[in-house]
Structures are given as C-alpha cells and as structure tokens.
Structure 1
C-alpha cells in the first residue's frame, strides 16, 4: 500500500514538474521573437499535416520537404532550410514542374523559399510563407545540369525588368514561355493567387491571347521581378487555416493595375515634424494561434529522410488535425487577422 502511494506520489510529482517546465518554457518564449524560435527548428513537428492561422500569421504541423533535386526541378538556397511545406503544396509544386516541362517546354523549375520546417515567421525575407502554402519560383529556367551546393547559394535569379526604365519588361529577356509558365501556375484550381511584379502583370494583360479566366489570379505586388510567388488555398475542410479574401472578378487589367504606374505606390511615407520613428514590434508566440506553441514544441522525426517525398507522393485529401491541438485552439477564427490583410507586405522585403 505504501509503495503504491509512493508510486502515485512520484507520478504526480513528475506531472507537476513537467507542467512547470512547459509553463517556464512558455513564459521564457513570451518576449522572444517568434522568428528566432521557429528559425531554430531544423525538422518539422511530427503531427498530422495542418496549416494554422493566416499566410502571414501562423505555423505548420506535419510539414514535408521537397527533394533537393527532381526530374524537373532543383531547390535553391539550401542553407536557408526553407523547402518545407504542407503536403498539398509540395504535391502541387511537383505536378507543376512536370506540367511545365510537358506543356510549356520549360527546362525545369528553380525553387526558392517555400516554408520553414514548422512554418512560422522567418528570420529574414518574408512576411508570408508561414503556413506552408506559399512558394517562390524563379523566373530563371533550370540549367541542364545539377547545380553544386555553392552555385545554389551564389547564383542570382534574372530580373525581367529593363535597367534604368521604370516598370518595363525587358524584351531581350522576357519570352512567351515565361508568360505560359505563369499562366499555367494560375490555372490550377487550388491556386489562390500568383504574385508578380506590376510590369509583368501589365505585360500579360497586353499580350496574353489564350484563356484569360485565370489572369485575375495573377496579382501585382512590389518586387517579384526575379521570381513569382504561388499561393494555394487552405486545404479543403480545414478549420485551422484562413484563406485570403477572394480575388475580385475580372482579369485585373483595370484601374487597380493602373494604380501601380502612378507615383502613389512608390512615395515615401510622410513624417510629421518632430515625429519619432516607431520601433517595429516583433511577433511573439502570443501573437500566433495558440496551436503554434504545440507545433513549436512538438516531436521531430528521426531524420529529414522520414519526411521527404518524391513524385509518387500525392495529397489527395487533407489529414485530420491532431485532436490535442484542436482542443487547445478552440475557435480558430478568433486567433486570425481579418481576411483583407495585405500579403505580402505593402513594402518590398528581401526575397
């Protein structure tokens, strides 16, 4: 009897100690920038695949990595460890690369950033890419050889814009294949938006003679003259992920595009006399959906090979979220920003 009581007491103490550790960890993370915490994770959370939150305010459970090399793609900037995504995003990239080769004659995709292993804010470069549903594709075609690790770090993507000429596509670089590649990306039903430079959007508006039904998905934004940004919708049936507002009707070749060719988007913010600069507030764990704490602290797989998939992998339907996480987040929508939050940020960031 005494032994049994001692065992129960030891178990209770262990539980209390474990709970204290979790509370201490949470407290210590309160003021730590979330980007530092997520950026330190080299492997994903071994949970059912789920995107939590919004594209610019969330995290990713059950992420998978696209192989560094495939028959129709090569991943770039491997040192960043950002070739992770929701299985549906990775499956789309692989399918897109295959279709681009077959239907466009594109030599192969050079892949930029997708997401960190557990999503979340990044140490540099992006406001979005936090829930594993965004991917950057270079506008530079893949060479017909395997790039070295050093080349993947040092090679720069090619801008499609003319030097010293405002928002003008360079006709010596831009080709009809670039147009077909971007429009192919926009044609997939699961793709919500494709972000490009305003000059590229205008070029498509002026020259695209094919089916224009998906042209409205191609959205102008700062930067994005070296690459285009593919965003897919939240997985069907997901209650933990918030889609962006629907794309307006039409092809987008209207006043909303013309605005980018005025002075207003490029004007420096006006400061009041004597106004002190506001120090940017860094995102902490408290700003993210509650489930992201569990994702951050979740178990990792034994190795990257356990969560890397090739062309044989297809995410036909999203897996259910972990029950424990569902219980923690409750009503997920209460943790999310309004759907009209502009993403990417309305000012250029490093890409």
Structure 2
C-alpha cells in the first residue's frame, strides 16, 4: 500500500471508527447532522424515511435561479436530492407564467447530509421534502439580508375555516401543476386550500387532487414531498399512499369538512379519570445516531 493510499484510507477510517463506538452512537443525531456544512462525496441516495433518515450526495440549490430564490440562507437547508432540484426548476418555470409571479420563493429543503434538524421540521431528512412559500415571487433580486427578514403570507383566515384574500387562482394553478408532476408523492396544504381546490375544480379529471393532503400549519407555505427516486434502495415510501387515503378518488368528500368543523371544536374534559397514557413517542430531536439507518454513519464520516 502506497503512503498516499494509506493516508487516504486512514483519513476515512478514523472518523468512521469514532462514529461506530457505542458512545458516539448515543449522541444526538440532530447535533451531528445539523452542523454538517457540505454534502457527502457519494452518488445521490436517499436513505430511510422522510422523518428518520439521511441522504448522500446531496446537491445545493443555487441561491438564485432564473425563476426562483432560496430563502433563509443562514439555515443552510437548501440542499436536496438532484430530483428535488430538478423539480424546483420545473415548477418554478411554470409558476413564472402566472400573472404577478416571477417564479417561486423556496423555503427549507434539507441539510447538506439530511438527517434530523436542530430546530423546526420533523421530516425533511432525506432530501425529498420542499417547502414553497405562498408569497408570490415578485422580485428575484432579493439580497441575502432581505431573504432573512422578509416573511411569507398566510392564505387562511384566523378561524382556520376558509381561505382569505391572499389566496388567488394563481396559487391554485401552481398547486395543480405540482400535483400533476409524476415525481410528486403528496403535497401538504392548510385544509381550507384543499376545500377551495375541490370547489373550484369543475373538470372531470380530479384525480390529481388526491395528492393534495390537508394538514395543520401549512398556510404560509405548501410542502411538496417527492417519491423515492428509482434505484434508491433503502428509501422508505410513505404509507398509506394518497390513493388509499382518498379511497381511489380525489379526497373531495364529506370527510374533508372534518378539518374545518369537528377538528376545531373545543376539546371536552373527560368525565372520568383517563386510562394510563401510552408511552410517549420518541421525538425526532431525541434521536441518536443509533436510531437512524446504519448507512447514515458512513455519510457523516465521509470527507
């Protein structure tokens, strides 16, 4: 073995062996992934599930493109699987055709090597989740400082039951374009947006609407989740599928109204003493390296 080859092997094995010892395996995963500054030198690969995994060979979304700007650059979360970057390029180009939109403002994607984050998201761990602001991108010349201070807009009323005046047909067109993209698995939106999309869609083809999933907290942005890329062995597809959730339809049925009726009703106090609570589920912020797929240790160790 040459001196050069030995030096290279040593440089790789030392950090890997340090991550393999029991003490390192119990370190908080978000502290380790949250401080990684660059992607791993591997072929692109998403590993594990959206909320428990990591990613190899990630690509950084350019801060500014022809039809997008990445926001909150200080977070260093504008990294994704190449298919996520390509999706942003496609969708932002379509958004730029909408009146009043020059493209899209892109929020968090993932960290350079994926994994749990120090703050914020439970998911966004394998480079396939993308937050897209509801704020129309009227300028693509925002400075780094402006992108730290500017805020998105909510498209939902304060009572959480309806869309407000910020919601436009352009939002609907962009969401439909995203849902029709074959790379997309599902899109999370605030429930009133899903209801409004169902009301406004008069076409016979409503199947794309099954990808639009109502969920809390998505009134300032919509969250696109891509399918596991072909060949990404070890990437875990989310279950149930949108087809199962929508029972093969569009999801525009009576159950949709639950989100703006019963779900918002005040919680009644139980008449009797509650049963022993179930064991608390481990929070993503408490994950250790041992909780993640073993390949994530190699990704952290690689230089």
TM range (shorter): 0.7 to 0.9
| Structure 1 CA distance for aligned equivalents of residues 15 and 140 of structure 2 | 50
Q: Which structure is larger by alpha-carbon Rg, 1 or 2?
A: 1
Across the two proteins, how many residue pairs are aligned to each other?
A: 288
Using the TM superposition, give the Cα deviation of residue 260 of structure 1 relative to its aligned residue in structure 2, in angstroms: 1.4
* Residue among 215, 220, 241 paired with 2:214: 220
Shift in CA distance, 298/183, structure 1 to aligned 2, threshold 3 Å: same
- Please show how residues 150-189 of structure 1 align to structure 2 within 5 Å: 150-163=145-158, 165-170=159-164, 172-189=165-182
Using the TM superposition, give the Cα deviation of residue 150 of structure 1 relative to its aligned residue in structure 2, in angstroms: 1.6
Unmatched 5+ stretches in structure 1:
1-6, 300-351
**More deviation, 23-32/135-144:** 23-32
**1:21-79 CA distance string (max 9 Å, x none):** 64443333222110110001010001000000111111010000111001110110000
- Please show how residues 128-147 of structure 1 align to structure 2 within 5 Å: 128-147=123-142
TM-score by length of 2: 0.85
Contact 2:16 2:301 in 1 (8 A): no
Matched, 1:294 2:294: no
Please give the secondary structure, in 2, of the residue aligned with 1:243: coil
Please give the secondary structure, in 1, of the residue aligned with 2:96: helix
* Residue among 181, 193, 197 paired with 1:200: 193
**More deviation, 131-140/255-264:** 255-264
Using the TM superposition, give the Cα deviation of residue 253 of structure 1 relative to its aligned residue in structure 2, in angstroms: 1.0
Unmatched 5+ stretches in structure 2:
none
Please give the secondary structure, in 2, of the residue aligned with 1:292: helix
Matched, 1:110 2:109: no
Shift in CA distance, 166/32, structure 1 to aligned 2, threshold 3 Å: same
Q: Report what 1:58 is aligned to.
A: 53
Using the TM superposition, give the Cα deviation of residue 126 of structure 1 relative to its aligned residue in structure 2, in angstroms: 0.7
Q: Report what 2:259 is aligned to.
A: 260
* Residue among 49, 68, 83 paired with 1:73: 68
Shift in CA distance, 54/18, structure 1 to aligned 2, threshold 3 Å: closer
* Residue among 211, 234, 240 paired with 1:240: 234
- Please show how residues 321-332 of structure 1 align to structure 2 within 5 Å: none
| Structure 2 CA distance for aligned equivalents of residues 276 and 236 of structure 1 | 38
Contact 1:185 1:191 in 2 (8 A): yes
**1:86-107 CA distance string (max 9 Å, x none):** 0011011111111222367732
**1:164-211 CA distance string (max 9 Å, x none):** x332111x2111111111111101011110110011111111112344
Cα RMSD after superposing both structures: 3.0
| Structure 1 CA distance for aligned equivalents of residues 150 and 237 of structure 2 | 34
Please give the secondary structure, in 1, of the residue aligned with 2:97: helix
Contact 2:47 2:232 in 1 (8 A): no
Contact 2:59 2:81 in 1 (8 A): yes
